[in-house]
């Protein structure tokens, strides 16, 4: 018993000497066993906390949405973006940089096979799974982003005539769709397809939630720019404007959401 008490006393002495921060007592009780003045420890602690907070602030600033993304901001970075985000992607050369910038905020899409193609559709762009791939497991599915090929009819609304910042916004919106599709099983995808076709209320909810996802990835102002451009500068019909204003967020609504975040 005496030996056990002696060993316990030695163990406690060592613990209190070398690990005083593990013993919950007032700081003044450790003054006799500290080899340095208390202010040295406090300064070290303050410096550590300051450095940590600076890193945390820098990281948070890096995630803030950028109001305008330009091609000049990515001068010389195209090959690096291709290496990091272009795997399993078939991209249209005219929009390659905007596509890669948009993809850079969707790390979950890095390994997926995505093809960007031209096609006859009713809107500027659309995203969908390739028909045969919906039967595959999620990691093996293939998706396509379709660019409206009716450029003469669309005129200013054609993707090639959309400002670069707005191109990034609409592309990011389409990649948000693919992100969602790839979380669904076969029956979930079928359910989305049917509901989107027959229910305007579902379509509105679906597109607005997708806009919010795009905003959360840091592309809020780019979506705002695209929406504002289509409604105010692209010369689209009044019918299409009303459709856009009902199904998607308006520029004012987008601005409110972005500023709230």
pLDDT tens-digit profile of 181-235? Answer: 999 999 999 999 999 999 999 999 999 999 999 999 999 999 999 999 999 999 9
* More confident position, 253 or 10: 253
For the ranges 1-15, 146-160, 215-229, the lowest mean pLDDT is seen at 1-15
pLDDT of residue 40: 57
Banded model confidence at residue 122, pLDDT cuts 50, 70, 90: confident
The answer to whether the CB of 221 falls within 8 A of the CB of 65 is yes
Residue 20 has pLDDT above 50, yes or no: no
Burial, 245: exposed, middle or buried (Cβ in 10 Å; 0-12, 13-18, 19+)?
middle
Distance CA 219, CA 119 (A): 25
Banded model confidence at residue 252, pLDDT cuts 50, 70, 90: very high
Residue 17 has pLDDT above 70, yes or no: no
Residue 16 has pLDDT above 50, yes or no: no
> Mean pLDDT for the chain?
84
pLDDT of residue 206: 97
pLDDT of residue 30: 46
* More confident position, 28 or 51: 51
Banded model confidence at residue 125, pLDDT cuts 50, 70, 90: very high
Banded model confidence at residue 261, pLDDT cuts 50, 70, 90: confident
* More confident position, 126 or 18: 126
Burial, 92: exposed, middle or buried (Cβ in 10 Å; 0-12, 13-18, 19+)?
middle
* More confident position, 13 or 142: 142
DSSP, residue by residue, 198-229: H-HHHHHHHHHHHHHHHIIIIIHHHHHHHHHH
Distance CA 81, CA 100 (A): 6
């Amino acid at each position: 018993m005496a030996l056990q008490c002696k060993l316990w006393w030695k163990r406690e002495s060592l613990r209190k000497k070398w690990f005083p921060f593990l013993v919950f007592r007032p700081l003044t009780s450790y003054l006799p066993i500290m080899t340095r003045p208390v202010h040295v420890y406090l300064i070290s602690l303050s410096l550590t906390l300051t450095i940590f907070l600076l890193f945390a602030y820098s990281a948070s600033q890096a995630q803030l949405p950028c109001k305008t993304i330009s091609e000049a901001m990515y001068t010389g970075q195209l090959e690096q973006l291709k290496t990091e985000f272009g795997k399993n992607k078939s991209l249209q050369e005219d929009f390659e940089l905007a596509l890669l910038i948009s993809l850079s905020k969707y790390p979950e899409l890095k390994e997926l096979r995505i093809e960007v193609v031209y096609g006859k559709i009713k809107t500027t762009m659309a995203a969908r799974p390739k028909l045969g791939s919906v039967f595959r497991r999620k990691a093996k599915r293939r998706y396509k982003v379709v660019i409206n090929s009716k450029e003469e009819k669309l005129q200013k609304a054609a993707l090639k005539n959309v400002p670069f910042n707005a191109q990034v916004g609409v592309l990011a919106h389409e990649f948000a769709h693919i992100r969602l599709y790839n979380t669904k099983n076969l029956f979930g995808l079928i359910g989305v397809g049917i509901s989107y076709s027959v229910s305007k209320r579902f379509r509105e909810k679906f597109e607005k939630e997708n806009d919010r996802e795009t905003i959360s990835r840091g592309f809020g102002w780019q979506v705002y720019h695209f929406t504002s451009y289509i409604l105010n500068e692209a010369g689209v019909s009044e019918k299409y404007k009303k459709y856009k204003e009902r199904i998607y967020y308006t520029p004012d609504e987008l601005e409110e959401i972005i500023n709230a975040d």
